[in-house]
Amino acid sequence: MKSSKVILVTYPDDFIINEGKQLILSIPEYEIVKVFTQKYLNHSKYGMGSGKAEEIEKFVKETNEIEEIIVDEHLSSKQIYNLEKLIGIPVKDRERLILDIFYTRATTVEAKLQIQLAEIEYEMPRVREHAKLLSNSNERAGKGGMGEYIVDVQFRDLKRQMSFIKEKINDAKIKRNIYQHQRQKTGIPVVSLVGYTSSGKTTLFNLLTNEYKETSTNLFTTLSTTTRSFKVPHNNKNKEREGGVLIVDTVGFISRLPTYMIDAFKSTLEESLGADLILLLIDSAEKIEDMRIKYSNCMDILEELNVDKSKLFTILTKVDKIDTRMINEIVEKLEINSDVIAISSNTGYGIHKLKTLLMRKQFLETKYNENTNVKR
Ligand SMILES: Nc1nc2c(ncn2[C@@H]2O[C@H](COP(=O)(O)OP(=O)(O)OP(=O)(O)O)[C@@H](O)[C@H]2O)c(=O)[nH]1
Ligand SMILES: [Mg+2]
């Protein structure tokens, strides 16, 4: 595969630099040649300061191999335009990069629709801005002096596409709601796995349900929700109860995700967030500072999605990679105040405890009792 040499421009912060690199490298053909940092990326002309933009221009000219610049922040059309004009190669902002990653990953129809919706929301404010820029620089926005008209047509076209996609997403949602109702009718408890991207959700999901869904160190491996049943030991009788609980694997979270992207994925997440129990997975093998950032990011997103905190249960994953004596320290340092259980999907550590604890949770007990009563 042909590699594409890129530059990353980001903030001088280890967590942010690392995440920016990981995001870029999750598109296989990208190769990062150099990272430039800037304390502020909100200068009006280029996002970065003029001095930094000129430094990058010089580097690009000298090396003569860089194909793209990726700025790890939201940029306006104007800023992208100015940078491209100065440096002479394409510039991409953080949101465009995330959309590109989503594109390379989306497999289900619904995930594709969600991404198309996010893409339109990304484009909308830029259509007019872009037309203005072109007319200001004496290049005509549209053919034959009909710039304004063409922009209006593009805008209307995007709006039409948007409502069409929303309708289709809604259809998919109605279908899912029907399933959900059927589930509720049968009283089967639903447990969903949420958490930062790469925290190990799908690996745990596969282990519990004997599935083979794709897992990887790349960010955003999973882009659609999957629900399967799994066996849990039924406490009193202590025997396996086939299809006892439904488990839902979801799209991972990431920091600094713009609201319209969260919105676009809301319907994918809604099903999981209506679950009886939400397991929030945290990768315990990371630096405590990174864990803290990711944990608080997840909590913010869950808050934004109006999740009932009493349904939360925290799972520290990948504990095979750490000294288990660290577990208490992590819980304390992150100030986790929900129930916590440490697991490893690789070695099976804590998995039995997880299953058993799931069954001990009061609401699941109630559900089972209700269920048993119905049967009687
Ligand atoms: N050592 C170790 N690695 C694990 C464990 N669980 C998951 N991993 C690895 O962590 C990486 C991410 O796992 P995934 O299950 O794909 O993570 P995810 O949360 O589904 O990620 P997204 O789908 O991107 O949101 C993979 O390389 C897994 O092999 C574990 O218990 N121990
Ligand atoms: Mg996954």
Distances 363 to 58, 102, 191 between C-alpha atoms, Å: 62, 36, 11
pLDDT-based confidence at residue 205 (cuts at 50, 70, 90): very high
**Ligand 1 atom having least distance to the Cα of 222:** 23
pLDDT, position 372: 44
**Whole-structure pTM value:** 0.87
226 contact partners, CB below 8 Å, separation of at least 6: 205, 211, 213, 248, 249
pLDDT, position 211: 92
- Domain-by-domain residue ranges, the chain? 4-102, 107-164, 188-375
Distance from the CA of 252 to the center of ligand 2, in angstroms?
A: 7
Least confident of 104-108, 253-257, 308-312: 104-108
Q: How far apart are CA 50 and CA 278, in angstroms?
A: 47
Distance from the CA of 100 to the center of ligand 2, in angstroms?
A: 17
Choosing from 107, 198, 219, 341 the residue with most ligand 1 atoms within 8 A of its CB, the one to mutate for a pocket test is 198
Alpha helices in the chain (DSSP H): 14-25, 50-63, 77-87, 94-105, 109-136, 147-186, 201-209, 259-273, 288-304, 326-334, 351-360, 362-375
In this structure, the residue with its CA closest to atom 30 of ligand 1 is 318
Distance from the CA of 150 to the center of ligand 2, in angstroms?
A: 41
CB of 294 sitting under 6 A from ligand 1: no
Cβ pair 319, 284 in contact under 8 A: yes
| Fold classified for 4-102 | Rossmann fold (3.40.50)
Distance from the CA of 101 to the center of ligand 1, in angstroms?
A: 18
What average pLDDT score do residues 340-351 get? Answer: 96
Token duo for residue 66: 């860089």
**How do residues 143-172 score in pLDDT, each as one tens digit?**
545 566 778 888 889 999 999 999 998 888
What CATH superfamily classification does 188-375 receive?
Answer: P-loop containing nucleotide triphosphate hydrolases (3.40.50.300)
Q: How far apart are CA 116 and CA 98, in angstroms?
A: 13
Mean pLDDT rounded to a whole number for the chain: 85
| Residue 366 predicted with pLDDT over 70 | no
pLDDT, position 374: 36
Distance from the CA of 23 to the center of ligand 2, in angstroms?
A: 15
Choosing from 212, 216, 282, 324 the residue with most ligand 1 atoms within 8 A of its CB, the one to mutate for a pocket test is 216
Alpha helices in 195-287 (DSSP H): 201-209, 259-273
Q: How far apart are CA 146 and CA 129, in angstroms?
A: 16
* Strand 226-234 versus strand 91-93 pairing type: unpaired
CB of 203 sitting under 6 A from ligand 1: yes
CB of 206 sitting under 6 A from ligand 1: no
Q: How far apart are CA 356 and CA 365, in angstroms?
A: 11
Q: What angle do CA 328, 218, 269 make, to 5 degrees?
A: 75
Cα dihedral sign for 122, 125, 126, 127? Answer: positive
pLDDT-based confidence at residue 266 (cuts at 50, 70, 90): confident
| Residue 279 predicted with pLDDT over 90 | yes
Percentage above 70 pLDDT, the chain: 85
Cβ pair 291, 320 in contact under 8 A: no
| Residue 371 predicted with pLDDT over 50 | no
CB of 221 sitting under 6 A from ligand 1: yes
pLDDT-based confidence at residue 105 (cuts at 50, 70, 90): confident
Q: Label residues 307-324 b or e (16+ Cβ within 10 Å = b).
A: beeebbbbbbbbbeebee
In this structure, the residue with its CA closest to atom 9 of ligand 1 is 200
Distance from the CA of 139 to the center of ligand 1, in angstroms?
A: 49
Q: State the residue for tokens 């596969």.
A: 206
